[in-house]
Every structure is written in C-alpha cells, then in structure tokens.
C-alpha cells in the first residue's frame, strides 16, 4: 500500500522530471526496490514538497550544488532537465550548465590525481 508520503513524492517527481524521473525509479525497482521507494518518499515527498521555496529555486540550488561536485554528472544531468521543466533554465541556456563544461568542477575522491 502506498503511503501519503509516497504519493506526494511521486506527484512532485512527475511535476519536476516528467517521464525521465519515472525511468530512473523504474531502473532501480528491480535491483533495489526499497531504495526506489526511499528516493520518492524522502527527497520528493519530504524535501521538495516543503513550503518556502518554489520548484524553480529548489532546482537551481540543486544544480548549483551538483555543479561543484566532480563525480555527480548523472545527477546533474537529471536536475538540469528538471530545472528546464520547471522554468529555472531556458532550454537554449542549458549548454551553460552542461556537466562537461562547468568551470567550477574540481576533482575529488577517485578522480583526484595521485602523486607518487
């Protein structure tokens, strides 16, 4: 049985990511069904559904944060798409935010150069 939190999260995910969000969740449902449920309930059912900021502002903040993380390119692409869907980024401007062209991406973790 779906909780109110899950339903609220699924509605918010559809509002932000449309079909792309559904595909992400579907890709996880076979290998990690609990994680797929958590992905809908917590970030979308709890965080994105909070009052205070509109979706445009939330997505722009998420894009800004992910831009600074060197190994978050897949998540950044999803949130750029979401930001375009909610009017935060005009479709013609999306190249400015492409993960391969970000100016502030700094290597971290396994991407950090090892000196011997």
Confidence (pLDDT) at 42: 93
63 in Cβ contact with 83 (< 8 Å) = yes
pTM (2 d.p.): 0.69
Q: Of 36, 35, 7, 16, which is closest to residue 85 (Cα–Cα)?
A: 16
Q: Does residue 110 surpass a pLDDT of 70?
A: no
Q: What is the pLDDT of residues 31-70, one digit of tens each?
A: 998 998 998 999 999 999 999 989 999 999 999 999 888 7
Confidence (pLDDT) at 96: 53
């Amino acid at each position: 049985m779906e909780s109110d939190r899950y339903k609220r999260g699924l509605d918010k995910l559809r509002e932000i990511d449309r079909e792309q969000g559904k595909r992400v969740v579907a890709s996880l449902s076979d290998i990690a069904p609990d994680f797929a449920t958590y992905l809908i309930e917590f970030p979308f059912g709890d965080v994105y559904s909070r009052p205070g900021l509109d979706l445009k502002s939330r997505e722009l903040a998420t894009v800004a944060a992910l831009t600074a993380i060197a190994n978050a390119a897949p998540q950044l692409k999803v949130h750029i798409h979401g930001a375009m869907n909610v009017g935060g980024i005009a479709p013609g401007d999306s190249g400015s935010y492409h993960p391969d062209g970000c100016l502030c991406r700094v290597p971290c973790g396994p991407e950090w150069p090892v000196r011997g």
